Amino acid sequence: MATIAHNRQQVIARIVRACVQAQRSVDSVTLLAVSKTFGAEAVRAAAAAGQRAFGENYVQEALEKMAALAELRDAIEWHLIGPLQGNKTRVVAEAFDWVHSVDRLKIAQRLSEQRPAALAPLQLCLQVNTSGEASKSGLAPDEAAAVAVEVARLPRVRLRGLMAIPEPAASIEAQRAPHRMLRELLAQLNCRHGLGLDTLSMGMSADLEAAVLEGATIVRVGSALFGARA
């Protein structure tokens, strides 16, 4: 049975190959281990193998893991990648390092107000619905600029970039299209509004190569690292 450490090496090898193909530095892509539904011991094993950044979808599940892994807090970066409801912003502002799933200004404002002054600014990405699916969270691409400009002004948080969860696609060309859209949107925000955004959170186990080829700086990988979810 493959270990998490072995799986991580396999995923990193995929990232390296994609970076070589894209003529990018390997250091320009961060592997975010999506640990939702996997317990604290799986996170501990990945951390022992050198993994630093972990992505969680559910706030309560994440808080339980943080408590169980308290002694690793300085070695682990916690990213919220799932939907964030208004009644959960305070605990997220107090406990997480990143939030990738900001999909309205009000959520960013609450995170800004509730981020403790003693902590480093909370790193934020705006989630964009690149495929227009009604079932998906995220801003419409044409809404992103107005929200980004307002979020960039908030204290105690730092707007870093954009995140998307595209529809699955079979071919690498079809996979690349929504990632390209997100990259072009980020470039547009920087060019027109001078936002200095540097983060594209896109690509998962099935399409990380397509995402890296289109400029992903964070790839969110779960099943290829931890195995199939129950």
Q: Report pLDDT for 229.
A: 83
pLDDT at 1: 60
- Per the CB < 8 A criterion, the answer to whether 166 and 129 are in contact is no
Give residue 224's identity as a one-letter amino acid code. Answer: A
Q: What is the mean pLDDT of residues 38-42?
A: 97
Has residue 131 got a pLDDT over 90? no
pLDDT digits (tens, 9 = 90+) for 52-94: 999 999 999 999 999 999 999 999 999 999 999 999 999 999 9
Say if CB 82 and CB 100 are below 8 A apart.
Answer: no
User: What is the average per-residue pLDDT within 90-118?
Assistant: 98
- Supply the DSSP symbol for 70: G
Burial of 190 (0-12, 13-18, 19+ CB in 10 A): middle
Quick one: average pLDDT of 31-53?
Answer: 97
- What pLDDT does residue 166 have? 93
Please name each of the domains of the chain with its CATH number: 4-226 (3.20.20.10)
Q: pTM value? A: 0.97
Average of per-residue pLDDT values in the chain: 96
Segment 135-189, tens digit of pLDDT: 788 999 999 999 999 999 999 999 999 999 999 999 999 999 999 999 999 999 9
With pLDDT > 70 as the criterion, what percentage of the chain qualifies?
100
For residue 201, the one-letter residue type is S
